[in-house]
Chains A and B, each alone.
Chain A
Amino acid sequence: MLQKIKNEIVESQIFKSVFRHGYPDNDLDRAYAIFSSVFLHIHPVKVRRSALRMRYTFCLGGITLFLFIILSVTGIWLMFYYTPYTGLAYRNIKDLQFVIFGGNLMRDLHRFAAHGMVLFVWLHMTRVFLTGAYKAPREFNWIVGVVLLVNTLVLSWTGYLLPWDQLAYWAVTVGAKMASYTPLIGQNGPWGPQLGFLPTNDIMFMLLGGTVVGQNALIRFYVLHCVVLPLVVTVFLAVHFWRIRKDGFSGPL
């Protein structure tokens, strides 16, 4: 009976138009299931049995990716309730905390997944380092990885401003102040003033869109956090995974 229902579904025109293969209970369909799916085809069709050993990767890269997916989903959910306006942002977060159904859950998930992503991207990098997986021919993928690491940190930092509370405001004020010390192009940096950089035209001004953290900074950080940086991470992740397939996986694969 169940077998019959399954066959009805698997043989239907709709199913066949979506999946160009039968249910993966035989080797041919198992192969098709992987390489005919845009999501699954980042995998090879087959891997060595030993590659399944958890003690090599500890799944750290995969966990980082999964945290990034959680962050994207919860982040988009939060965007429905958030206004990047200094007069409203803080109240929006308070609403998430006390009024909106599931608000706390989503905000907590977003916050801790973010901490987790920073931690796991570091652990993943350490695993890659300790297994020598950055050596030829994978040097470039290591560079892509470092770009991902830096982006992960900047994503966390830009997101930090959005609740517009004391923690957010001062962490970003102090961080942005660092930019003003940049040599050559910062108002306080060595040779900055000599080269004509003032509070109104230096690198910190560019970052904040003003001389202090205010509305312009909030909208900048918002756009960076919700659009630009996630896109950059996604593009580099695509390159990252592509290169793992092309360069071959280092492990006992």
Chain B
Amino acid sequence: MDEKVTREIFPRDSRKSYGLVELMKKTAPIVKKEPEDTVYVWPNLLMIEIICAILVTVGLMVLIQFEHAPLRSLADPSTTPNPMRAPWYFLGLQELLVYFDPWYAGVVLPGMIIAGLMLFPYLDVNPKGVGYYTYSERKFAVFNYSFGFAIWWITIVIGTYLRGLDWQWYWPWSNHLEHMNPALVTLIPLHLIFVNWFHVSEGVGKLFGDIIFIGYFALGTIIPMIIWKPMYKAMGLWRYLTFSFFFLSMMGVALKIVLRLLFNIKYVLVTPWINI
């Protein structure tokens, strides 16, 4: 498509304060695209926009016949509702509080999600698949986006339907009025498991945890570098390291959810300042 652009007569040059717009035959000022087969925005596109707007309005009008904006009793600092649910779009983050300490689930992780989203265009070096839907030409990128938002939506569903009093796990058929016995689930930091298994001191157990944590990031970064050399070459060192950090962190969230739900592991990394 690009080759067909009319020849640029006066190239852009910082010593000149003017540029010259290219000249084309036909009647459509679309840059770097052929002018064929175009239609006027008025009325063609405007009509579509108006139809969309009408459909949305009708949809909203129908919806509010069945459902109304909620209003509970007056705010009362002395009675906390139980369970206390955030609005649905933040329920995923609230649910993550089960798996991570608040500084991580509530602050660092949201920050990393935003940063990761913003960096995505700079980390994805695959030039293919612009302007049409394709999975086969960019499997890995689609996988990353889908995986991240799968966690986002699954935790929202868990928070909405599977959490009850005291934010405990309630099946739809459980009695939602009865408190669960918190003693049913005892959470243990990973290092205590090592202490039990290998009869080592607590310090050594913690060291195992640290090694697993650091090893996860180190090996997770180095192994793909060797196995998928072309990918690493295409990305370059810094882009690859940034990507690897975000990718492993995202996978880490999923791993931690599994560790916590299946094995009741509370922390992997235990330090005097932070625990993860």
Contact = CB atoms under 8 A, between A and B. Distances in A.
A119 to B, nearest CB: 8
A111 B80 CA distance: 24
B275 to A, nearest CB: 10
Given A66-B52, A108-B69, A112-B63, A179 B75 contact: no
A49 B40 contact: no
A169 B117 contact: no
B106 interface: yes
Interface in A174-190: 174-175, 177-179, 181-183, 186, 188-190
A127 to B, nearest CB: 9
Interface stretch (A1-9, A90-98, A234-242): A90-98
Contacts of B74: 90, 164-166
Interface string B145-163: 1000100000000000000
A14 interface: no
Contacts of A136: 121, 127
B41 A63 contact: no
A52 B81 CA distance: 49
Interface residues of B, number: 75
B131 interface: yes
A163 to B, nearest CB: 6
Given A62-B49, A138-B121, A178-B106, A109 B81 contact: no
Contacts of B132: 131-132, 252
B53 A190 contact: no
Nearest to A90: B74
Contacts of A207: none
A112 B67 contact: yes
Interface in B43-78: 43-46, 48-49, 52-53, 56-57, 60, 63-64, 67-77
A130 interface: yes
A43 interface: yes
Interface in A41-74: 43-52, 54, 59, 62-63, 66-67, 70
B81 A170 contact: yes
B45 A47 contact: yes
Contact of B52 (A63, A70, A169): A63
A62 to B, nearest CB: 6
Contact of A49 (B33, B39, B90): B39
A46 B28 contact: yes
Given A49-B39, A175-B86, A181-B107, A166 B49 contact: no
Interface string A128-151: 011111111011001100100110
A83 interface: no
Nearest to B86: A171
Contacts of A47: 38-39, 41, 44-45
Interface of A: 24, 27, 30-31, 33-34, 40, 43-52, 54, 59, 62-63, 66-67, 70, 86, 90, 93-94, 97, 104-105, 107-113, 115-116, 118, 126, 129-136, 138-139, 142-143, 146, 149-150, 153, 156-157, 160, 163-171, 174-175, 177-179, 181-183, 186, 188-191, 212-213, 248, 250-253
26 contacts: A30-B42, A43-B41, A45-B29, A46-B40, A46-B41, A50-B37, A70-B57, A93-B71, A108-B68, A111-B69, A112-B69, A113-B60, A115-B88, A116-B56, A129-B142, A143-B118, A146-B118, A157-B90, A165-B71, A168-B75, A169-B76, A181-B102, A182-B107, A183-B103, A183-B107, A188-B103
